[in-house]
């Protein structure tokens, strides 16, 4: 008796990437990174997720730790949580990369990246472009939380000999852009000043 779905048995594309519950290491290429939301705020003591800082509440406080130690409330910090599309030799899939793995690719802590992005608002988008196409060896594990959608990246090793963490490329990129912007502004103000100067000189010449 033949199987009802022989394609699934022969075609590796239809098999789950992780067939057992133990972590699996695969080689892949980064296809894309969701740069819109790459980190989140947690309590610096117990790492419980906290609400994002807002204008009204710039420093969210952990209720649990504040209750335990009202005299010295714990602060907050940021951790990476990055959704990344990868392509292996058989399929493309979206995986989630938490702080330890993401720090390998970004080369800094989520707090450092957050501060960098305050000065350069397009930093996360540029980082996703920088990491696009990067060859990686990733160890994927099944999420501990049964409701979680994506496989998680337990560890990551960049394969290219020329790999440099995103923050290094970003610092080079924005430093290279920086001086040209300063030169442009200097030239612009010089031009405005010159026009005003000659205009006033001309008016003075007409009046005298």
Q: Which stretch binds Zn ion (CB under 5 A): 13-21, 43-51, 168-176, 197-205?
A: 43-51
Of 10 and 48, CB closest to Zn ion = 48
- Dihedral of the CA atoms 108, 114, 115, 116 (nearest 10)? 70
CB of 63 to Zn ion, least distance (A): 8
CB of 147 to Zn ion, least distance (A): 23
What is the spatial distance between Cα 49 and Cα 72, in angstroms, rounded to a whole number?
Answer: 19
45 binds Zn ion (CB under 5 A): yes
Of 53 and 158, CB closest to Zn ion = 53
Q: Which residues of 47-71 are buried (b: 16+ CB within 10 A; e: fewer)?
A: eeebeeeeeeeeebebeebeeeeee
Of 42 and 138, CB closest to Zn ion = 42
What is the spatial distance between Cα 174 and Cα 191, in angstroms, rounded to a whole number?
Answer: 25
CB of 104 to Zn ion, least distance (A): 26
Q: Which stretch binds Zn ion (CB under 5 A): 11-19, 35-43, 85-93, 191-199?
A: 35-43
Of 62 and 124, CB closest to Zn ion = 62
Query: Of the candidates 124, 38, 40, 41, which has an alpha carbon nearest to the alpha carbon of residue 82?
Result: 38
CB of 46 to Zn ion, least distance (A): 3
Of 62 and 170, CB closest to Zn ion = 62
Query: Of the candidates 24, 14, 21, which has an alpha carbon nearest to the alpha carbon of residue 155?
Result: 24
Tell which positions 50-69 bind Zn ion, by CB under 5 A.
62, 64-65
Q: Quickly list H helices, the chain.
A: 6-10, 63-68, 99-106, 110-119, 123-131, 166-207
Residues of this chain that bind Zn ion (CB under 5 A): 43, 45-46, 62, 64-65
């Amino acid at each position: 008796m033949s199987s009802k779905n022989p394609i699934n048995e022969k075609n590796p594309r239809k098999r789950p990437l992780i067939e057992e519950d133990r972590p699996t290491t695969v080689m892949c290429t980064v296809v894309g990174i969701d740069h819109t939301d790459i980190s989140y705020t947690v309590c610096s003591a117990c790492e419980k997720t906290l609400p994002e800082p807002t204008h009204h509440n710039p420093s969210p406080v952990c209720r649990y730790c504040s209750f335990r130690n009202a005299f010295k409330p714990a602060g907050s910090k940021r951790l990476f949580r990055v959704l990344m599309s990868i392509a292996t030799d058989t399929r493309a899939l979206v995986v989630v990369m938490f702080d330890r793995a993401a720090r390998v690719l970004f080369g800094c802590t989520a707090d450092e990246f957050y501060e960098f992005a305050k000065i350069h608002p397009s930093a996360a988008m540029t980082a996703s472009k920088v990491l696009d196409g990067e060859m990686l060896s990733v160890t994927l594990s099944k999420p501990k939380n049964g409701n979680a959608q994506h496989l998680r990246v337990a560890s990551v090793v960049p394969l290219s000999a020329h790999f440099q963490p995103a923050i290094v490329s970003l610092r080079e990129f924005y430093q290279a852009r920086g001086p040209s912007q300063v030169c442009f502004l200097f030239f612009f103000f010089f031009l405005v000043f010159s026009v005003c100067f000659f205009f006033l000189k001309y008016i003075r010449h007409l009046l005298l």
